[in-house]
Chains A and B, each alone.
Chain A
Amino acid sequence: MQPSLIVGPRITGLALEAAGILTRIASGDANAVNECLARYGGLIWTLARRMCQTATDAEDAAQDIFIELWQKAHLFDASRGGEATFVTMIARRRLIDRLRKRRREVPAVAIDGATEPATEPSDWTQVCEEVALVREQMQQLKPDERSVLALALQESLSQAEISSRLDMPLGTVKSHARRGLMRLRELLHRPAPPKPAVRGVT
């Protein structure tokens, strides 16, 4: 069965884009370290647990990611995206490097079964605009494109693993992934439709 994207309330606590935590870190404010960990620790830990085989690997990865984040905090540019996006970008880059290295070294095995308490959805009460927009525009993609992207993003599967899971030729997986992303890019670049006029308001 092909996975489908689920639309609905999702992670939104991250949307509480703190007033420049990364900017404060870049300026040498050591007090911002704990705030950064409190705000993005769950996000990075979730991604690390998802893309690492063991909790020990995830701990090492999370440590590497935060160090890189602190070193590169000065590169954050709010005009290009939110802090959570920047943090996720740094985290994914590190984790993909580790994942590819691991795939070269050892055959994949199931992740260990350790679980951690999850953040209560009730805490996620605010919606990040850019995340909401991407989620909305992903619904415009073709079902196969959405399926491939969902498996890459939700389960961190490689192209070959997605090919096997969906019983789809590898070349087709690559095409769907690329076309899906390019289409999403086009949709996000498209000017937003004008808002309908409100009558009776002066």
Chain B
Amino acid sequence: MNPSIPDRERILELLADEALFGLSQEEDNELRSLLDNAPDVDVEEFERLVATAQLAHLEQLAEMPASVKSRIAADGRAVVAGDRLVTPASTNPAASRRELLAWFCAAASLLVAMIFASRSGEPMVASLNPADLKAQLLRSGDRLTTVKWAAGPDEAGKDARGEVIWDNRRQQGVMSFRGLPANDPTKHQYQLWIFDSAQDEKYPIDGGVFDIPAGGKEVLVPIDARLPVEEPTLFAITIEKPGGVVVSSRERLPLLAQVAK
């Protein structure tokens, strides 16, 4: 069905606004609804036009700092090479509640063993190295939850940056850190906690214990969720005794990553 002339004009107005300024949620909904009846509209035409006009307005190019460039290059090699090296993502459908229940029971039966095994600090789920896992997750695209770390009340997080990438369907994720102080594993270790909408806030899911080596480079850590995560709402890093804890006192909380609703 072709849109009426007023609808077509409105589509063009919204596409022009989107390309130049972006749209509010309400405008975006309106546009998507109008486009349902306008399959012939080139939705990227104004974006291309504005991009070209943007190039025409650039006077000078700033030089990207070498440190930023090398960090991005490392990501790029993982993402691009991942297309060839990493086994294609499985196409498992989202787990049904029954499957989740079965998984929960299996996880519960393994929990005690896992708690002991995890105290060694060894990653439990990472069959891929963290860079390959990150590349694989990034290739899975839109269904990812990506959240930047924000400093928590503990001083250790004040200069730290990075992000959490979590694929809820596959129940896998990876964290990146820069600027988080190196720890002495004989004195304390970092531990991830995943707050889940389906869990009492008092009992977040243990996401694994990990170390940050000295050297200041970006560190990638696979997430090792000990229970199925239904809907993550917050990721939190605590500093705990070696081996981690089953329930954290949350006295030392260097980093938080709140998932947008």
Which A residues are within 8 Å of any B CB, using their own CB?
Answer: 5-6, 10-11, 13-14, 25, 28-30, 32-34, 36-37, 41-47, 49, 56, 59-60, 62-63, 66-67, 70-71, 80-81, 84-86, 88-89, 92-93, 96-97, 99-100, 115-119, 121, 128, 130-132, 134-135, 138, 149-150, 152-154, 158-159, 174, 177-178, 181-182, 184-185, 188
Chain B residue nearest to A6 (CB atoms) is B59
The A interface, classified by DSSP as helix, strand, loop or mixed, is: helix
B76 touches A66 (CB 8 A): yes
A116 touches B76 (CB 8 A): no
A70 touches B69 (CB 8 A): no
B81 touches A62 (CB 8 A): no
Instruction: From the candidates A5, A14, A99, A178, name the one contacting B55 in the complex (CB within 8 A).
Output: A14
Q: A92-B19, A115-B62, A138-B53 are in contact. List 12 more A-B contacts (CB 8 A).
A: A14-B55, A41-B64, A45-B62, A59-B65, A62-B68, A63-B75, A85-B55, A89-B51, A96-B21, A116-B64, A150-B57, A181-B16
B47: chain A residues within 8 A (beta carbon): 89, 92-93
A sample of 8 cross-chain residue pairs with beta-carbon separation below 8 angstroms, ordered by A number, consists of: A11-B55, A33-B77, A37-B69, A37-B73, A66-B72, A70-B80, A89-B50, A93-B47
Interface residues on B, range: 35 or more
Binary interface encoding of chain B residues 131-150 relative to chain A, with 1 for a CB under 8 A from any of its CBs, else 0: 00000001101000000100
A11 touches B58 (CB 8 A): yes
B57 touches A34 (CB 8 A): no
Chain B residue nearest to A128 (CB atoms) is B55
Contact residues, B1-42 vs A (CB, 8 A): 12-13, 16-17, 19-22
A30: chain B residues within 8 A (beta carbon): 76-77, 80-81
B72 touches A154 (CB 8 A): no
B122 CB–A CB distance under 8 Å: no
B59: chain A residues within 8 A (beta carbon): 6, 10-11
A174: chain B residues within 8 A (beta carbon): 17
Chain B residue nearest to A99 (CB atoms) is B22
B51: chain A residues within 8 A (beta carbon): 81, 85-86, 88-89, 92
User: In the complex where A56-B161, A119-B60, A150-B57 touch, is A100 in contact with B22 (Cβ < 8 A)?
Assistant: yes
B56 touches A134 (CB 8 A): yes
Chain A residue nearest to B61 (CB atoms) is A42
B13 touches A178 (CB 8 A): yes
A150: chain B residues within 8 A (beta carbon): 57
Most buried by B among A5, A66, A184: A66
A181 touches B50 (CB 8 A): yes
B200 CB–A CB distance under 8 Å: no
B54: chain A residues within 8 A (beta carbon): 47, 88, 92, 153
B53: chain A residues within 8 A (beta carbon): 134, 138, 149, 153, 184
A131: chain B residues within 8 A (beta carbon): 52, 55-56
B48 touches A66 (CB 8 A): no
B63 CB–A CB distance under 8 Å: yes
- Give the docked Cα–Cα distance between A117 and B61 (Å): 9
A11: chain B residues within 8 A (beta carbon): 55, 58-61
A178: chain B residues within 8 A (beta carbon): 12-13, 16-17
